[in-house]
Amino acid sequence: MQAARRLGYRPNAMARSLASRRSRTVGVVLDDLANPFFAEIAGGVEQLASKVGYQLLLGAGGRQAGRERATLATLLEYRVEGIILVSPRIPSRELAAAAAEVPLVIVGRGVRGIDADCVLINERHGVELVLDHLTQLGHSDIAHVDGGSAPGGPQRRAAYLRGMRARRLAGRACVIPGDFTEDAGVAAARRLLAHDRLPTAVFAANDMVAAGLLSGLDRAGVDVPGDVSIVGYDNTNISHLAHVSLTTVDQPRTEMGAMALGLLLERLEDHRAPTVRLVEPTLVVRATSGPPRAAARPPVPAKPEGRPAP
């Protein structure tokens, strides 16, 4: 041991894992490192991993199925004991092939016919919380900027349309195509401002979209929540910022990450049937939502002279 310390010797973890057939390493594939939602889930995985003596190998797909596929292949080559995929975009058949090699836990996307555990948010309930909040404030012109085809996007869009119909507001439903990025929110603000009148409230597919909406509307002189209320989804750290103070649906990201690793560790110890854990969201009300003004549909404010259009 003295010689090892003097020489700066470090054990070869790869060789050790080959000898013991246990690497005590878990792979985590995130959809988008630019979105704090994914970093906060990874934080929950890491907190539990450090307590139980596991190491993490992190990778990201950059919102592209091809990069995600390559990252997954690399983790399999490193002989990790299991893999957690957060909002994966690759087809189900590829997930099934990976699950045949190592235990998988999929967060944020429901899959069928695959030997993998899932951690899901109750999307329908989360959207109902948004619509209940806005209609109780007096809103009926509620638009939705959706998340495109990425996991969570179609589910929130469908729940929004279902909820508007249930409230007899189907004729006022408006879906603006987008994705889960701040740029999509800025583009949605531009589309809204191109119309003669604004909706009184907008439900954004996530907090990044909501941040883009806030930026685009602010540049045009639109008051939030006076002219338009904004509600996001995720309750990431950007929603807490004092200058944002976003009303949003809370997904307990840290708890979901720990839950995912817990399921993976259970699967490693006991080859049981796949399990689905459904997490119930809550609504956090902050400064971006309020009752509509007396005019049910306020006109779009004129753009200040000399200021570029958003």
Which CATH number belongs to the domain containing residue 76 in this structure?
Answer: 3.40.50.2300
Residue at 303 is within a domain: no
CB 148 within 8 A of CB 178: yes
Phi/psi of residue 107, nearest 5 degrees: -110, 130
Tell the residue number behind the tokens 């989360």, with chain if given.
Answer: 126
Residue at 59 is within a domain: yes
User: Can you give the pTM of this predicted structure?
Assistant: 0.86
Tens digit of pLDDT for each residue in 233-256?
A: 999 999 999 999 999 999 999 999
90 and 199 together in one domain: no
Return the pLDDT at 10. Answer: 66
111 and 174 together in one domain: no
128 and 245 together in one domain: yes
C-alpha triplet 207, 107, 270: angle, nearest 5°: 155
Range of the domain at 19: 2-122+252-281
246 and 108 together in one domain: no
- Neighbour-count burial for 72-103, b at 16+ CB within 10 Å, e otherwise: beebeeebbbbbbbbbbbbeeeebeebbeebb
Return the pLDDT at 299. Answer: 43
Domain count, the chain: 2
List Cβ neighbours of 169 (8 Å cut-off, separation of 6 or more). 135, 140, 142
162 and 182 together in one domain: yes
Average model confidence (pLDDT) across the chain: 90
68 and 128 together in one domain: no
Residue 62 exposed, middle or buried by CB count within 10 Å (0-12, 13-18, 19+): middle
Residue at 306 is within a domain: no
Q: Tell me the pLDDT band of 302, cut-offs 50, 70 and 90.
A: very low
79 and 97 together in one domain: yes
Return the pLDDT at 297. Answer: 42
128 and 175 together in one domain: yes
- Residues pairing with 58 in the sheet: 28
15 and 63 together in one domain: yes
